[in-house]
A = this chain, B = another copy of it.
Amino acid sequence: MDASEPRPPAIILVATQLPENIGAAARIMANFGLSDLRLVSPRDGWPQERAWAMASGAEWPLNAARVCTSVAEAIDDLQVVFATTARPRELALPILTPREAAGELATAAATGVRTGIVFGGERAGLETADVALCQAVVTIPIDARFKSLNLAQAVAINAYEWKMAQDASAPAAFLDGPGPASGEAMLGLYGHLERELQTAGFFHPPEKTPNMVQNLRSALAKARFTDQEVRTLRGVITALSRGRGRVLEKIARKAGEAE
């Protein structure tokens, strides 16, 4: 990769069942100039010889593959991450074709932003909680009459569109302003907000908490906050929740006066 070339998206494979599919994904990644492979909890463990056998010589993505135990961990250094899934979700995330997604990723990468695409396992796909960590959903326009798409084929189409977007892209567009915050910074923001909301009794009834958390995360993810904005919002959360302290003190004081 030239220093001048934008960094291609990381490919994050979640709960992959067949090492063969990981190998086939590595091969097609190499075909289109991608190399950053991350594996979240591959079913059969890692490394697996069958992956190398399927890669037909495209060994470098496999040799350098990072193994993680959660999507959150796998994307912690990435700033723009899309989730590939065929299923409509209850999340209000933008739905992109692979072509639209590649356009957005290319634009982001051209300004030095680190990007990634997440793919679910062969059978179950992605958990909604993991999709909620992403800024958009990529849906391949599969025929409704036969939806069973091979994992490596899904990687192929997205990697191909990335390459097409590169080939089409003239010198990078007007790059300005800071890029989006890292996944880690966003998780910090979510955690802070959710702790304070928990304290404030917001999550009610309790069994709805996971859904409420997901909807909040996906709403905020869409904004692609910068690091500065994340800091500001954490200040907002602190101010509002301390302010609550003062409001409550005032109530308590009044109650005391009433004694």
Contact = CB atoms under 8 A, between A and B. Distances in A.
A67 interface: no
What is the oligomeric copy number? 2
A225 to B, nearest CB: 6
Interface residues of A, number: 82
A236 B244 CA distance: 12
A87 interface: no
A187 interface: no
Contact of A178 (B30, B92, B177, B256): B92
Contacts of A97: 164
A53 to B, nearest CB: 13
Contacts of A215: 229, 232
For chain A, what secondary structure do more than half of its interface residues adopt (helix, strand, loop), or is it mixed?
helix
Contact of A242 (B149, B237, B247, B256): B247
A32 to B, nearest CB: 6
Interface in A19-67: 24, 27-28, 30-33, 56-58
21 contacts: A30-B143, A30-B145, A32-B142, A156-B157, A157-B160, A193-B236, A196-B243, A200-B242, A200-B243, A200-B246, A201-B239, A201-B243, A202-B236, A204-B245, A216-B232, A222-B225, A223-B223, A243-B248, A247-B248, A251-B251, A255-B255
